[in-house]
Chain A
Amino acid sequence: MATPAFAQEAETPSEQNLDTVIDVPHGEPIEGATGHDPAAEQHGTEVGAGEHDTGVFPPFDPATFPSQLLWLAITFAALYLLMSKLALPRVGSIIAERKARLDADLAAADASRQKTDAAIAAYEAALAAAKSKAQGIATETRESIQVELAAKRQAVETDLAGRMSAAESRIAQTKAAALTQVDEIAATTAQTIVAQLVGEVVSPDSVRAAVAKVGKE
């Protein structure tokens, strides 16, 4: 069973391991190191008790410090250089590339959307213009038809009025002509009646005057 012991801690190396102690650097497991206590191993939580009797807990063993510091410096410096010069710029560039690509795509999508919006707006404007134009045409047509209708109606009305007045004047003429003949008939009738009743022939002129005198009363 190998029990690591630290030579520098073993203040009095036993004879059996003295040779090994000289050749082997500290920290190497040494066969047959002294102070092995099986009972202590059972309750090994006691610091250092299980491993060796010198009581130096490995993390607090200053003999190991130079090696650890040396290799920590070497490895951490190497890690820092590898990270800062190689690995992180690579990962970072991938992320930046993706971000640039996404931004460009989003910008393109945005531009397309704006174009679509503009097209929709143009379509709607054209539609509205066409609608208003159609409305204008309809109104114009209606108005022109109304004007035409009014003109025609007026012409017809004027025509009708002219005819009516002509007819009226004709009626008045006919009436006047008829009325003059009524006097003639009345005179003739009165002359005949006088001749029949009185048996005397009256002159047409006196009859006419009499009729006119009666007609005036």
Chain B
Amino acid sequence: MAGTDPIHQFVIEDIFPIATIGGDGTEGSGLHFAFTNSSLYMVLAVVVITGFLLLASSRRSIVPGRLQLLSEMLYEFIANMLRSSAGTEGMKFFPFVFSLFAFVLVGNLFGMFPYAFTFTSHIIVTFALAMLVISVVFIYGVVRHGFKFFKLFAPAGIPTPILFIVVPIEIVSFLSRPISLSVRLFGNILAGHITLKVFTGFVVTLGAAGFLGWMGAILPLFMGVALTALEFLVAAVQAYVFAVLTSMYLNDAVHPSH
């Protein structure tokens, strides 16, 4: 019955181990590195994104074909989004935001293939990406603006007594960004996949129960179809949200004084 288990799809399995650093030689001790199913889909994502863009731009035609148009739309979409939220100066982060968007989008969409592994359903991946975003924001902000970057926490034009309330709030909100950014993506993808698996699992379980079961399986089947459509939407929307929030956070690094 593992076929209907909604958690099974998130299990990470080693394809081949690489190394174990530290530990006492027993299983579970030390840092274990391996090429896993998660790694496989990350590599596939890179291959698919790069392959798509290079293939789409290979003809370099003035009047674009369908594929080239799609790649250009993606490019312009992210470029416009970043430009509108972080300004022209923010465009130096364009490859970064584009990579994030493409990586998350393709990772999410891989999850829509049966038997595929969704690496964005793991909190460590989304959290690492979110921490990367916040680190870039913080390091760039401090390098570019020095101490002025910390004006981000003290909005201009606020009376001093209120600053004592506002500054902690701003700091907490800044620190909670990587958490909200990562949990939003992780939670959406995880919950969506579990729900989808539960409903389609009902179909399989009920289907095994004969004719009445088949009749009973109709409703979860429709739910499964509807949820699949919803999950495609969620996959795209969450990638977009991740990229939009990244752009807005980068705006703080580029223009720290609100």
Residues of A in contact with B (beta carbons under 8 Å apart): 1-4, 6-9, 21-22, 25-29, 38, 41-42, 44-45, 47-48, 50-51, 57-61, 63-76, 78-80, 82-84, 86-88, 90-92, 94-95, 97-98, 101
17 more contacts with CB within 8 A, not counting A64-B12, A88-B94, A90-B60, are: A7-B27, A25-B14, A25-B27, A26-B28, A41-B5, A44-B4, A50-B5, A59-B10, A61-B12, A64-B124, A66-B33, A67-B35, A68-B36, A70-B39, A78-B46, A80-B96, A82-B49
Determine if B1 and A72 form an interchain contact, defined as CB atoms under 8 angstroms apart. Answer: no
Per the CB 8 Å criterion, the residue count for chain B at the interface is 66
User: Which residues of B sit under 8 angstroms from A101, Cβ to Cβ?
Assistant: 62
Most buried by A among B35, B45, B75: B75
User: Which residues of B sit under 8 angstroms from A98, Cβ to Cβ?
Assistant: 62
Q: Top 7 closest A-B pairs, CB basis?
A: A8-B28, A84-B95, A71-B39, A87-B53, A7-B27, A75-B42, A58-B10
- The residue in chain A whose Cβ has the minimal distance to the Cβ of B8 is A51
26 of the cross-chain contacts (CB-CB < 8 Å) are A1-B2, A7-B27, A8-B28, A25-B32, A26-B28, A27-B11, A27-B12, A27-B34, A50-B7, A51-B8, A67-B12, A67-B34, A67-B39, A68-B36, A68-B119, A71-B39, A72-B119, A79-B49, A80-B96, A82-B49, A82-B50, A84-B96, A91-B56, A91-B57, A91-B75, A94-B64
Kindly state the separation between the CA atoms of A58 and B121 in the bound complex, as whole angstroms: 10
Determine if A59 and B99 form an interchain contact, defined as CB atoms under 8 angstroms apart. Answer: no
Residues of B in contact with A (beta carbons under 8 Å apart): 1-2, 4-8, 10-14, 17-18, 20, 27-29, 31-36, 38-39, 42-43, 45-46, 49-50, 53-54, 56-57, 60, 62, 64, 68, 71-72, 75-76, 94-96, 98-99, 102-103, 119, 121-125, 128-129, 132, 186, 190, 194, 198, 201, 205
Determine if A82 and B46 form an interchain contact, defined as CB atoms under 8 angstroms apart. Answer: yes
- The residue in chain B whose Cβ has the minimal distance to the Cβ of A4 is B11
Determine if B11 and A26 form an interchain contact, defined as CB atoms under 8 angstroms apart. Answer: no
- Whole-angstrom distance between the Cβ of A30 and the nearest chain B Cβ: 11
User: Which residues of B sit under 8 angstroms from A8, Cβ to Cβ?
Assistant: 27-29
Kindly state the separation between the CA atoms of A75 and B10 in the bound complex, as whole angstroms: 20
- Whole-angstrom distance between the Cβ of A10 and the nearest chain B Cβ: 9
Determine if B6 and A59 form an interchain contact, defined as CB atoms under 8 angstroms apart. Answer: no
> Given A69-B128, A78-B46, are A87 and B12 neighbors across the interface (CB < 8 Å)?
no
- The residue in chain B whose Cβ has the minimal distance to the Cβ of A60 is B123
* SS class, residues of chain B in contact with chain A: helix
Determine if B13 and A38 form an interchain contact, defined as CB atoms under 8 angstroms apart. Answer: no
- Whole-angstrom distance between the Cβ of B136 and the nearest chain A Cβ: 11
Instruction: Pick the residue among A51, A57, A71 that contacts B38 (CB under 8 A).
Output: A71
- Whole-angstrom distance between the Cβ of A100 and the nearest chain B Cβ: 10
> Given A79-B103, A90-B57, are A63 and B46 neighbors across the interface (CB < 8 Å)?
no
Kindly state the separation between the CA atoms of A63 and B35 in the bound complex, as whole angstroms: 13
* SS class, residues of chain A in contact with chain B: helix
Q: How many A-B residue pairs have CB under 8 A?
A: 196
Determine if A44 and B50 form an interchain contact, defined as CB atoms under 8 angstroms apart. Answer: no
Most buried by A among B5, B20, B64, B129: B5
Kindly state the separation between the CA atoms of A3 and B2 in the bound complex, as whole angstroms: 7
Determine if A44 and B95 form an interchain contact, defined as CB atoms under 8 angstroms apart. Answer: no
Determine if B4 and A41 form an interchain contact, defined as CB atoms under 8 angstroms apart. Answer: yes
Determine if B57 and A27 form an interchain contact, defined as CB atoms under 8 angstroms apart. Answer: no
Determine if A44 and B201 form an interchain contact, defined as CB atoms under 8 angstroms apart. Answer: yes
- Whole-angstrom distance between the Cβ of A164 and the nearest chain B Cβ: 96
Determine if A50 and B6 form an interchain contact, defined as CB atoms under 8 angstroms apart. Answer: yes
Instruction: Pick the residue among A9, A42, A68, A90 that contacts B205 (CB under 8 A).
Output: A42
Determine if B14 and A28 form an interchain contact, defined as CB atoms under 8 angstroms apart. Answer: yes
- Whole-angstrom distance between the Cβ of A35 and the nearest chain B Cβ: 14
Instruction: Pick the residue among A45, A78, A88 that contacts B95 (CB under 8 A).
Output: A88
User: Which residues of A sit under 8 angstroms from B53, Cβ to Cβ?
Assistant: 83, 87-88, 90-91
Determine if B36 and A67 form an interchain contact, defined as CB atoms under 8 angstroms apart. Answer: yes
User: Which residues of A sit under 8 angstroms from B28, Cβ to Cβ?
Assistant: 6-9, 26, 63
User: Which residues of B sit under 8 angstroms from A61, Cβ to Cβ?
Assistant: 12
- Whole-angstrom distance between the Cβ of B228 and the nearest chain A Cβ: 18
- Whole-angstrom distance between the Cβ of B230 and the nearest chain A Cβ: 18
User: Which residues of A sit under 8 angstroms from B194, Cβ to Cβ?
Assistant: 45
Kindly state the separation between the CA atoms of A28 and B125 in the bound complex, as whole angstroms: 20
